[in-house]
Amino acid sequence: MIRLIVGLGNPGPEHALQRHNAGFWWVDQIAQREGLALRAERGFFGDVARLRGPHGDVWLLEPGTYMNRSGQAVAALARFYKIAPEHILVAHDELDLPPGQIKLKLAGGHAGHNGLRDIAAQIGTPQFWRLRIGIGHPGDRDAVVGFVLGRPPRSELERIEQAMQRGLDELPRLLRGEFEAAMMHLHRGNVPPAAPAKESPK
Q: What pLDDT, in 10s, does the model give residues 27-40?
A: 999 999 999 999 99
Residues with catalytic roles: 20
User: Residue 178: exposed, middle, or buried by beta-carbon count in 10 A (0-12, 13-18, 19+)?
Assistant: middle
Q: Which residues pair with 59 in a beta bridge?
A: 4, 50
Higher pLDDT, 108 or 128: 128
81 in a labelled binding site: no
Higher pLDDT, 113 or 198: 113
pTM for this structure?
Answer: 0.90
The model's confidence at residue 53, banded by pLDDT at 50, 70 and 90, is confident
190 in a labelled binding site: no
Per-residue confidence (pLDDT) for residue 33, from 0 to 100: 93
Q: In terms of CATH, what superfamily is 4-188?
A: Peptidyl-tRNA hydrolase (3.40.50.1470)
Q: What pLDDT, in 10s, does the model give residues 2-18?
A: 999 999 999 999 999 99
**Domain ranges within the chain, ordered by starting residue:** 4-188
